[in-house]
Amino acid sequence: MSRSETAEARRTDQIPAWKQEEIDELAAFLEAHDSIGIVGVAGIPSRQLQAMRAELHGQAALRVSRNTLMTRALEAVDDGLEALTDHVAGQVAFVGTNDNPFALYRELEASKTPAPIGAGEEAPNDVVIPEGDTGVDPGPFVGDLQQVGAAARIMEGSIHVTEDSTVLEAGEAVSADLANVLGELGIEPKEVGLDLRAVYSEGVMFDPEELDIDVDAYRADVEAAAARARSLSVGAAYPTRQTAGALLAKGAGEAKSLGISAAVENEELLPDLVAVADAQVRALATHLDDEALPEELRGVEPDAAPTVDEDAGETDDTADDAQDDDHEAEGADDADDDDDDDGGDALGAMFG
């Protein structure tokens, strides 16, 4: 046995039986779930922690133990979970689930509830006292508001905050005066719940920031990308299982359109060819006299008369000019005929 194995065996022998039993139970808990997370439980009352445990029932399981025993259980499993030992600090617990880490994060965030903040605690976010009527009767409280940095005055028989007032920035400690003011106004600037530190799932470590995604926006992006890919596949005539039906339908439509335009006689195209021919006949019928048409085509409404515009006027002038030119040409021909007749008479006279 090597020196390290001897040391490990000696350390194991020194562990009390109840601790080893707890480690074994924790290890079994870790091996029973696909995803294991470390959650902070500091500041959560025992009753509220039990309520959260009950709310997560069926979706995730919570296991609280000593940090040293949790660390030993992570190392004992030796399935990559030892990476979570860096997050075992402070008041923490194991959370296990067979769901994916993103669903676990959403469940834990949804279980959080607003809570008042006490003096000395750090503000998780900017603390804002909103504009409006506080509902508090005129008195010393207006001075308390002004002292913590809120714009307040007495109006219409009560104390009003005249504008949204940021009285504390994220990360700053809450003073006793501010804690009292927030309590009086019923403002609860923090959330109490299981604070996820990290999740290990299928060989991958996830930080909370990586799990905090807008699921609806992400789904919309995936759907848009899939639609663009499908459109590209169809446009490039690249057949896949998802686009084969669309490509066949597109090809059939193009073949049908070609057959109709080329007047190809086909049993499937006959109804369309007849419809096209009928439309053409009716269009022609609008330009013919009803007396020259069969009875079923009589009374077809002609197309609306074209609107006369400046271009049309210029066209009419050109036609008139052409008609004038024709008349002049006819006059010239008549003159030529007269000249020919005069010439004939002259020759007849000359030659008797």
CA 314 → CA 308, 317, 319, 325, distances in Å?
10, 5, 9, 17
The residues with which 61 forms a beta bridge, in sequence order, are 96
3-class DSSP assignment, residue 169: coil
The predicted pLDDT at position 12 comes to 52
d(CA 185, CA 179): 10
Contact 251, 235 (CB under 8 A): no
- Domain spans of the chain? 3-112+193-213, 127-185, 214-262
pTM over 0.85: no
Contact 158, 135 (CB under 8 A): yes
Tell the CATH topology of 127-185.
Answer: Molybdopterin biosynthesis moea protein, domain 2 (3.90.105)
The residue written with tokens 């959260």 in the block is 52
Tell the CATH topology of 3-112+193-213.
Answer: Alpha-Beta Plaits (3.30.70)
pLDDT for 79-120, tens place per residue?
789 999 999 999 999 999 999 999 999 999 888 888 888 899
pLDDT for 112-171, tens place per residue?
888 888 899 899 889 999 999 999 999 999 999 999 999 999 998 999 999 999 999 999
What is the sign of the dihedral through the CA atoms of 82, 85, 91 and 92?
Answer: negative
Q: Which is nearest to 173 in space by CA: 127, 119, 129, 125?
A: 119
At position 185, the amino acid (one-letter code) is: L
